[in-house]
Structure 1
Amino acid sequence: MTIDAKTPDEYIEKIPEERKAAVSKLRETIKSNLPKGFEECISYKMIGYVVPHSLYPDGYHCDTKLPLPFINIASQKNFVALYHSGIYADKDLLDWFVQEYPKYVKTKLDMGKSCVRFKKIDNIPYDLIASLCQKMTPQQWIALYEKNVKTKR
């Protein structure tokens, strides 16, 4: 489901009513727990948290005009999604998240490479996501990104 919005507030206004509270709470959880330096914006037609060009002038390698993405949240057709580039790029962080998840949610983790899908919005583990957000600074993300992406090109 693509939502055309210019701001995160507008994005939330346009999603289905039954998801607004959950996506708003997820947004606030992320904003309240990300280390200083990340910026909130619309990124890839989702609510995004990025390393701005002021901190990382090189930008995203796929399109250097874009800031370096880190986290996105989206209301998809059948689920709310959390995309976290850090758990894709850092195996230790991924392992921690997978191990912690069952402590917060009784249903099976539904996850792709960087995407955590919440089909039941009542099962979003906000406290776990808060902890996840606190685990990587913009500087750590830049270093990991450069190690994993820049050296492979």
Structure 2
Amino acid sequence: MKKLILSSALLLALSVSFTSCRDAKKAGSSIEDAVENAAEATKDAANDAVDAAGNAAEKAGDAVDNAVDAAGNAVDNAAKKAGDAVDGAVNAAGEAVNSAGEAVDGAAKKAGETVDKAVDATKKAANDAAEAAKAQANKLKGAH
């Protein structure tokens, strides 16, 4: 996430720094275009990051579901072979599944909070970059 924000800021800085004074007639529109392009690229990058985080959370949830299914199958096979001793194992497995479910719920909640924080940070960075670009554009406009 840091690399994404820093890359966006670097691209914005480069686009603003390569505008020369000789291009004063076109500078106003090209700066506006550069600001719009940088803001759009930052927005797209933030959306891609949010999508990637969501996909990662889904894959983690699928993996947990598969693990729970595999544990359930193992418990079923043990119950068929062990008879009376299985009752204790089934109770223990049920508690383990409940604990795993609680752990998954906690992990999902933390993942959601992390994604929310990442989205907020990206939005803030995009807004800050846009504001900096606007300030630079106004500074360049004022210089000419």
What is the TM-score normalised by the length of structure 2? 0.20
Whose strand proportion is higher, 1 or 2?
A: 1
| Largest Rg, 1 or 2 | 2
